[in-house]
A and B are shown apart, each in its own frame.
Chain A
């Protein structure tokens, strides 16, 4: 059964930062994207690499609406697994390469004391 874990003070997790914490038997990455908090398992579904320890930035897409010009998008939302570079959108849990692949998203909140609390 899921229980709440303390991640740390929100002041230590400003926008654009992340923190990987242990939550019982698993590890979870907690991300602050433009002031919104997201939490994903620190396990890449590809070959179990430490996904949330990867770099968070944007990615490249080329779509009809830009005339198929390669374009940098989603800055601050994409985490790249440090093992084989599979990309995931932190805000949706969805894999950029394989859209059917979607990570579990844990609930995360800030309590009245300004502490980040993770339900996992």
Chain B
């Protein structure tokens, strides 16, 4: 009886985006030295205050978002996307408003400038920036009412402090992951000096979220000074994720930390089938060099998570569905928009894939609920969906 009542409550039409619970695994809050100053430890306020004296430049501010001088703006052809919109979200209210307009229910906040925090050479200063950022997110961004959640920023320059930050926010109801910067980051995250960070994340029950951004440095795969925007953007994201995934596999991370959830963001999806097949092929000849495993690499990679953005847009949309099937990703692929960045994806870019309504719900929100865990509150108007699923 209950089941039939629930069934009648279902709309008698194909679900639209508004009918589906949408978790966006990657949106960007714009942190500035001015905003972080009140959240900065006293001994670092002078340093952050000095940075605040440098005029604001988008993702390009010395000692805050370092970019090599030879990549300053003005050395490229006129861009087709110049200044059409600001591409910055300054505060939580603006984020909520803009996500509402995109039919996105929940947003997982990542930084803007600190996508490049690994390029800051002073480790103590980088750790101080991360502490200030985490406090700022906790205090000024995440609220019960706004469905925004944070990730704890873990800096490579000070793994011990990264562990302390993870422990500090482990039980915070609105921190749902750990952000591992991968732009110009070396060594890669599988290196043993970072095992304590991975162990703390596993212990806290927080997934690690690897995130990159375009960068240019001597560190692979960011040594791209002879390349233009398209190639740099591809290498900085896709190759960074591939290198870090291989670093995890090289160091046995999936078996050393078997409960650790690992998510790769902002590199699209099409590299995943390639890397899985390639590693399986290499493994059969050289298994002894990765002696940690009892099965082929793909058996472990299929337990990792992949965020969609920038989602590939093949002429035949079925091709993307086939690719997700090839990497067993129906339950491990999560929607991300990357709002408000230049290459953001509207939710319909994923929602409109030619798959069943159940599959759409997984991609748009249910998989992310599994990734981020029970801290994320499902708005009441969606509860009937879950009840029909368990009822049927």
Identify the A interface with B (CB < 8 A): 46, 59-64, 68, 70-71, 84-87, 96-100
Contacts and interface: CB of A to CB of B under 8 A. Distances in A.
B109 to A, nearest CB: 35
Nearest to A67: B256
B252 interface: yes
23 contacts: A60-B288, A60-B291, A62-B252, A62-B291, A62-B292, A63-B292, A64-B255, A68-B252, A68-B292, A70-B288, A71-B291, A84-B285, A85-B284, A85-B285, A85-B286, A86-B284, A87-B287, A97-B283, A97-B284, A97-B287, A98-B284, A99-B295, A100-B295
B296 A68 contact: no
Interface in B209-265: 252, 255-256
B296 A98 contact: yes
Contact-residue size bin, chain B (C-beta under 8 Å from the other chain)? 10 to 19
B285 A68 contact: no
A99 B295 CA distance: 6
The 5 A-B residue pairs whose C-beta atoms are closest, nearest first, are: A62-B291, A60-B288, A97-B287, A60-B291, A85-B285
Nearest to A95: B284
B294 interface: yes
Task: Name the residue in B252, B286, B291, B294 with the highest tally of chain A Cβ atoms < 10 Å from its Cβ.
Answer: B291
A contact patch SS: loop
A84 B255 CA distance: 26
A82 to B, nearest CB: 12
A61 B291 contact: yes
A97 B284 CA distance: 6
B284 A46 contact: yes
A64 to B, nearest CB: 7
A7 B284 CA distance: 31
A97 B286 CA distance: 9
Contacts of A63: 292
Contacts of A86: 284-285
A59 B288 CA distance: 7
B116 to A, nearest CB: 33
Contacts of B295: 98-100
Interface in B273-295: 283-288, 291-292, 294-295
Contacts of B291: 60-62, 70-71
B300 to A, nearest CB: 13
Nearest to B252: A68
Given A70-B288, A84-B285, 17 more contacts: A46-B284, A59-B288, A60-B288, A60-B291, A61-B291, A62-B292, A64-B255, A84-B284, A85-B284, A85-B285, A85-B286, A86-B285, A87-B287, A97-B283, A97-B284, A97-B296, A99-B295
Contact of B256 (A68, A71, A84, A97): A68
B131 to A, nearest CB: 32
A51 to B, nearest CB: 13
B279 to A, nearest CB: 11
Contacts of A61: 291
Contacts of A64: 255
A85 B294 CA distance: 17
Nearest to B251: A68
B254 to A, nearest CB: 12
Given A64-B255, A68-B255, A99 B294 contact: yes
Contacts of A62: 252, 291-292
A14 B291 CA distance: 31
B288 to A, nearest CB: 4
A96 B292 CA distance: 12
A71 B292 CA distance: 10
Contacts of B252: 62, 68
Contacts of A99: 294-295
Interface in B25-48: none
Task: Name the residue in B255, B286, B288 with the highest tally of chain A Cβ atoms < 10 Å from its Cβ.
Answer: B288
A61 B287 CA distance: 9
Given A62-B292, A68-B292, A96 B255 contact: no
